[in-house]
Amino acid sequence: MSSNRRDFLKNTILGAGIISTGIISCSPPEGGNKRKATGKTHTQHFNMCGYAAPKLDKVRIGFIGLGSRGPGAVSRMSHIEGVEIKALCDIYPDRVEKCQEILRGKGLPEAAAYSGSEDSWKSLVECDDLDLIYITTPWKWHTPMAVYAMENGKHAATEVPAAVTLDECWQLVETSEKTRKHCMMLENCCYDFFELLTLNMARQGYFGEIVHAEGAYIHDLKFHNFSKEYYAGMWRLKQNANRNGNLYPTHGLGPICQVMNINRGDKMEYLTSMQSADFMMGKEANRLASEDQSFIEFANKSYRGNMNTTTIKTYIGRTIMVQHDVTSPRPYSRIHLISGTEGMARKWPSPERIAKGHSWLSSEELEKLYEEYTPEIVEKVGEMAKQVGGHGGMDFIMDWRLADCLRNGLPLDQDVYDAALWSSIAPLSEASVASRSDSIDVPDFTCGSWQSNTPVELTLKGGGTTGVRNLQETDASIQLNV
């Protein structure tokens, strides 16, 4: 290997937060749960998988980040009984006021307001009358805010990805274990209707043994990334400018990890990642700069490749393929393909399909499967979720489930190990791309407890008691059967 390429690879690995002396590998321990990273050793303080925090009669929430995602979360949570929206924070005061209008419009009291500086969020987190910090900020703030929330005695729920570097992934794990506070990544796609259906089918053996799965985030965001208004300070374009890897893996990955019981009976062993060249972003930056001098800082630069393909091998021999492309003019897709020894399912391209053997089922047969395999949570709040909204209802199911688990003292469907593992694919894939697609070990954030952790619970046993309110703008006659 040439010295220039060696130096480039070393700098890429360091930038991805891996380590200065090699790639993190946390294997099932012999005589202790330990890992080495940046010269430190981690011993599992407490297993957060399956942990049930003390019940909360009221879930008092503080929201940080009220740009593109925050207002929708505030609105959805305002529908859930037993939830109090106590605090709102954004650097821009007008965004806070818009969310206050949402609360007033639903007949709810205004929340405490925090804005005006980049540190205003710390004052919100330090308040004594909050149980949960809900984070919908740019990526770089997710880990610092979640860690600060847990250190101040609050549960944390953060938008995806939960972390940007491997060091941040371990920081989340260590803090959650030490504080025994939940750290949930808000992976809403785990609560989409077809994903929940196929998860329940897999649990009941419909597909046989799961062999392979595919997920993706194929979503043309070129217009949004180059917009001066959509992402404050154009932060997402800056993230996508030169990080060659799968930067946003969790939408496609989360649901298939639950199907495969990753962290709960199986684990990821290693991955390899390959990236196309950039055929669009650099050209778009140059075109915009020729028309508008404010884009000159983005012109005549190298940009990340358009399509990333990452493949993962699991401990028991399964394979996963996950793709990322936010620039190509293609129809939206998360793929969501599940392949087993007896059948398969595929969500995209539409329509969603299921096969038993070598033939796709008819629409009539698919309808019968929905009747047989729709999980309890969808039967409980599915129609309500479609009315409240949020990506077709999956956002509301996620929020309702989070609140219901906290109120009933139940383990969360997504724990800190899921947040760390699913997020870690970004820096790990960057390291693989930089090393000509060499295989990279995937850390075991559970430090061996994946062997005894139980799968995600699909029933509402012990929960399902949380109602829904303020449906005047939809259908006030609909009530939960509690």
Domains of the chain in start order, with CATH, are 189-376+411-451 (3.30.360.10)
Tens digit of pLDDT per residue, the chain (482 long)?
444 444 444 444 444 544 332 333 344 333 333 333 333 467 899 999 999 999 999 999 999 999 999 999 999 999 999 999 999 999 999 999 999 999 999 999 999 999 999 999 999 999 999 999 999 999 999 999 999 999 999 999 999 999 999 999 999 999 999 999 999 999 999 999 999 999 999 999 999 999 999 999 999 999 999 999 889 889 999 888 889 999 999 999 999 999 999 999 999 999 999 999 999 999 999 999 999 999 999 999 999 999 999 999 999 999 999 999 999 999 999 999 999 999 999 999 999 999 998 999 999 999 999 999 999 999 999 999 999 999 999 999 999 999 999 999 999 999 999 999 999 999 999 999 999 999 999 999 999 999 999 999 989 999 999 999 876 554 333 333 33
Distance CA 433, CA 397 (A): 36
Whole-Å CA distances, 176 to 147, 153, 247: 8, 10, 24
Which amino acid, residue 58?
K
The pLDDT value recorded for residue 256 is 98
Which residues does 445 contact at the CB level (< 8 Å), separation at least 6?
26, 169, 170, 173, 263, 416, 417, 420, 421, 424
The pLDDT value recorded for residue 418 is 98
The SS3 call for residue 262 is strand
Task: Give me the sign of the Cα torsion angle 15, 20, 25, 29.
Answer: negative
* Cβ-contact 426, 245 below 8 angstroms: yes
Distance CA 47, CA 49 (A): 6
* Cβ-contact 409, 397 below 8 angstroms: no
Whole-Å CA distances, 26 to 43, 157, 179, 267, 449: 11, 25, 22, 11, 12
Instruction: Give tens-digit pLDDT for 84-95.
Output: 999 999 999 999
Category of 402 on φ-ψ map: left (φ > 0), alpha (ψ -120 to 50) or beta: alpha
Neighbouring C-beta atoms of residue 194, cutoff 10 Å: 19
* Cβ-contact 112, 124 below 8 angstroms: yes
Please measure the distance between the N-terminal and C-terminal CA atoms of the chain and give it in whole angstroms: 65
The pLDDT value recorded for residue 381 is 96
E-assigned strands of 117-260? Answer: 132-135, 155-158, 183-185, 210-218
Which residues does 233 contact at the CB level (< 8 Å), separation at least 6?
none
Whole-Å CA distances, 147 to 176, 181, 205, 369: 8, 10, 38, 42
Distance CA 33, CA 374 (A): 38
* DSSP class per residue in 92-136: SHHHHHHHHHHHHHTT-PPPEEE-SSTTHHHHHHT-TT-SEEEE-
* Cβ-contact 93, 70 below 8 angstroms: no
Taking every pair of C-alpha atoms in the chain, what is the biggest distance, in angstroms? 70
Q: For residue 371, give the H/E element and its range.
A: helix 363-373
What's the pTM value of the predicted model, to 2 decimals? 0.91
E-assigned strands of 401-455? Answer: 440-441
Matching residue, tokens 């992934």: 169
Distance CA 23, CA 12 (A): 12
